[in-house]
Structure formats: C-alpha cells, structure tokens
Amino acid sequence: MSSRLIYGFHAVTAKLRHDPDAVKEIFVDAARHDARVRDLLAYAELQGVKVIAGDSRRLDGMVPGARHQGVIARVEGGRQVAHLDDVLETLDEPAFLLVLDGVTDPRNLGACLRVADAVGVHAVIAPRDRSAGLTDVALKAASGAAEAIPYVMVTNLARTLRELREHDIQVIGTSGEAQCDLYAAAWPPATAWVLGAEGEGMRRLTRENCDQLVRIPMHGTVDSLNVSVAAGVCLFEARRRRS
C-alpha cells in the first residue's frame, strides 16, 4: 500500500485520533519541547506509533515549502475526510474555521484550501451533497494544502452550523446584500466563516443559521468575487485581528 506525508499539528493529531492504524511513523523537530509536542508524543505512544526526532532541516526537506510546525507523519491509505469533533477537541486556541456552501468547482475548492492553510484555519467544512470533494483536480489546485488542513464533509450543513454556535463559535456569513461592511464588523476570536459559490451564494438555511452577515466593499464595476478570492479577503482580515 502506498504511503504519503501529512503535516501540521491539527492534521496529524486528527489522523491519530480517527485512524491511528494508518499512521506508521511521526517525525518531530528535536528542538521542540513545548507542551503541544509533549501531548502529541504521549498520544502517539498510547497508540503505539513510532516517533523519529530530527532537525528542522530534515523536516523542511521532506515537505519543501510547507509550514509543517515541526511535525510530519507518514500515513498509509487514501485521503479521508476529518470529523468535526476530532478537530475541535485538538484546539488549544479559539476556533478559526472556513465553511464552503455550494462550491462545486474542484479548482475553486483547491484554491480555498490553499488560502485556508495560508492563514492558519483549523479546518474547512463543506456539505457532502454540494461540494466538489477532494478530487485529483482539487488536490492539484491545493498545492499540498489538502494534506495539511482537515477537510470535514457533513450531511446537514445547517445542523453543523447550529452545533458550532453551541460551541460558542460565531458563524459569519458573507453576502453582497449584507448591511455590515467587513472592515466595520466586530466578531469574537472564535469564528466560522461561511462563503457560497459565486453567483448563487449561500443557501437560505445556511444564511438563516449565521450569527451575522458581512459584505466585502466593492469599488469597481464588478459586484462579486471568485469564492477563493473572497475567502482570502475575509480570512486574512480575520487573521490580522487574531494576531
């Protein structure tokens, strides 16, 4: 069976929790001794997974150009979607999530995954029935981001949004008709950003389960942006405020 590399704390920890038998070995930066690494090593030991310490240069060479955070795992089997509970249980900071409603173009999905990874989103959530899925085209467009960020597919998106709100995660929808400007809006640290496909936007039930709606101010002749561009605008503003 072929193996592949995944990296980053959230991706590796979620894989350990949900599918430990697929994790064959974990490489960690020998210079890291913080609590996050200790917790990961303890869980790996509990699951009987081999851990190999190495210097950062070796890890950089394993996944060139990736933000691996000092942890890489070799896993076997195909790519599997993550489970939301697994992702939320691993967080040691306020949740930062991206929700995609109706993004059926695999290239757009891949581009959104790249944006999400770039800003440090903890997971990307999408409905099973209105999503491109992690096809080869989406994975190529993601340029490695799909291996680093958990991708959660849910049966009922509206119900999932309600569950996020029960976890005190504010659900923020984006809409060109929203009264509130993105840059004037206020939100808490824990957020889930919801974007719909260009043109159609979010579905009615998705919109109704948002805590607030914001719009990206447009100053030219176009009235909408590609979903991955819109994701970049919103998520980088959210990341700026989190910093």
| More confident of the two residues 66 and 158 | 158
pLDDT tens digits, 11-27: 788 778 777 888 999 99
Report helix, strand or coil for 207: helix
CA neighbor of 214 nearest in space, from 189, 235, 199: 235
Instruction: Give pLDDT, residue 78.
Output: 60
pLDDT tens digits, 57-105: 999 999 888 778 899 999 887 665 678 888 898 888 999 999 999 999 9
Cβ neighbours, 10 Å, residue 17: 17
Instruction: Give pLDDT, residue 223.
Output: 75
135-166 as b/e, with b when 16 or more CB fall inside 10 Å? Answer: eeebbebbebbbbbbbbbbbeebbebbebbee
pTM: 0.74
**With bands split at pLDDT 50, 70 and 90, how would you rate the model's confidence at 32?**
very high
Q: How far is it, in rounded angstroms, from Cα 194 to Cα 17? A: 26
| More confident of the two residues 149 and 2 | 149
Instruction: Give pLDDT, residue 108.
Output: 93
Cβ neighbours, 10 Å, residue 89: 11
In order of their start, the domains of the chain are 3-76 (3.30.1330.30), 84-242 (3.40.1280.10)
Instruction: Give pLDDT, residue 200.
Output: 78
Q: What percentage of the chain exceeds 70 in pLDDT?
A: 96
- Asked if residue 195 has pLDDT above 80, the reply is yes
Q: What percentage of the chain exceeds 90 in pLDDT?
A: 61
Angular region, 151: left φ>0, alpha ψ -120 to 50, beta rest: beta
Instruction: Give pLDDT, residue 217.
Output: 93
| More confident of the two residues 57 and 9 | 57
